[in-house]
Amino acid sequence: MIIVLAKNFGRSQKQKLFELLTRHGDSFRESKLGGQQVIVVPETNSNQLSEVLSRLSGIERVIDVNEPYQLCSRNAKLTDTVISVQEFKTGGGSFGIIGGPCTVESEKQTIEIAIRVRKAGAAALRGGAFKPRTSPYSFQGLKESGLKILAKARAETGLAIITEAMNSEEVSLVAEYADVVQIGTRNAQNYRILEKCGEMRLPILLKRGFSCTLEEFLMSAEYILAGGNEQVILCERGIRTFETYQRYTFPVGAIPALKMLTHLPIIVDPSHAAGRAEFVPSLSFAAAAAGADGLLVEVHNDPKNALCDGRQSLTPKEFEIMIKKCKKIAKLVSK
Ligand code: PEP
Ligand code: MN
């Protein structure tokens, strides 16, 4: 249940409300929804609570939500959440395009790619400075000097910057340079980092954990919203199944399901799902046709020599051709 408070809801009214909830033995949490002050009561022991609350003054609305995730639920907020930073916009009919290298390798490489992805229609540049690598022997990213390069790329191109953080300290550091913090698949259920993201006041791009159900994915997003940060972009990046031919399996059906379950924007990362560049266009077309609110695609000016994920990276030209088609498909399904 979500209790929406009127703007002028006073301290003593709040005290009374908390006492009432405590008397029922209900746990509750203060948060925000659509910019309004709300109290989330995930479960109540009273079957008359809605009725009692609707009689209290200063309570604007009581929303019954039956799912374990509350603030993320489509029932909680009927209008789509739209996230916009710089010229990047996703959700509510806007198809946001993000392109860039898996990892920031040098200033020259990053700026060259930034210029090319912008020309191809991207409004955001994604490049990793802190890289979660399966092997400790692989390149781990340029860290803070990579963030500085990304900030330079924004200054040169006007692209919004998205980059990953892997722990709470990195979230704060990334927020000093970037416009959006990415939480990768491996940290999708790291609840301490999600709590940290809830304290932030910039958008968070949350990838689906590769073994998370949709409900678990939305519960992760709920951590961020419960903390007071409503700006969450969900990213489907493929899940692990018995199939190993592609790197992961892209569950296209997750897109319409998430659109039904939540008001948050959902973008698709076809690159990590496919693991091979030749499959990226087909998965991107499918994502756009299924109603995704955008794409996050790995693009490299020299994929063969990329320090990370070159095998799945498109060249800027391939990206440009693909994005043109994706935009048409998105429009066709009324984006
Ligand atoms: C990435 O975006 O470069 C990345 C590591 O993605 P994921 O967390 O989805 O594996
Ligand atoms: Mn990558």
* 113: pLDDT strictly greater than 90: yes
Region 57-79: what's the mean pLDDT? 94
> Where does the pLDDT of residue 48 fall: very low under 50, low under 70, confident under 90, or very high at 90 and above?
confident
Region 234-257: what's the mean pLDDT? 98
Q: Where are the domains positioned within the chain?
A: 2-63, 83-332
* 118: pLDDT strictly greater than 70: yes
Mean pLDDT of the chain: 96
Q: How far apart are CA 31 and CA 40, in angstroms?
A: 7
Fold of the 2-63 domain: Alpha-Beta Plaits (3.30.70)
Return the bridge partners of 30, or none. 39
**How is residue 132 written in tokens?**
């979660």
Region 260-278: what's the mean pLDDT? 98
How high is the pLDDT of residue 180?
98
How high is the pLDDT of residue 45?
81
How high is the pLDDT of residue 334?
79
Topology agreement, domain 2-63 and domain 83-332: no
Q: Is the beta carbon of 141 within 6 A of some atom in ligand 1?
A: no
Taking only the tens place, the pLDDT of each residue in 191-229 is: 999 999 999 999 999 999 999 999 999 999 999 999 999
Q: How far apart are CA 265 and CA 294, in angstroms?
A: 8
How high is the pLDDT of residue 49?
87
Q: Is the CB of residue 297 less than 8 Å from the CB of residue 284? A: yes
**Residue 312 CA: which ligand is closest?**
2
* 335: pLDDT strictly greater than 80: no
* 284: pLDDT strictly greater than 70: yes
Region 136-152: what's the mean pLDDT? 97
How high is the pLDDT of residue 52?
86
Atom of ligand 1 nearest to the CA of 309: 3
Q: Is the beta carbon of 208 within 6 A of some atom in ligand 1?
A: no
Taking only the tens place, the pLDDT of each residue in 2-15 is: 999 999 998 899 99
Residue to substitute in 98, 240, 272, 307 for testing ligand 1 pocket (most ligand atoms within 8 angstroms of CB) = 272
How high is the pLDDT of residue 47?
79
Q: How far apart are CA 285 and CA 303, in angstroms?
A: 22
Lowest mean pLDDT among 49-58, 131-140, 245-254: 49-58
CATH of domain 83-332: 3.20.20.70
How high is the pLDDT of residue 267?
98
Supply the residue whose CA is at minimum distance from atom 10 of ligand 1: 185
Atom of ligand 1 nearest to the CA of 131: 5
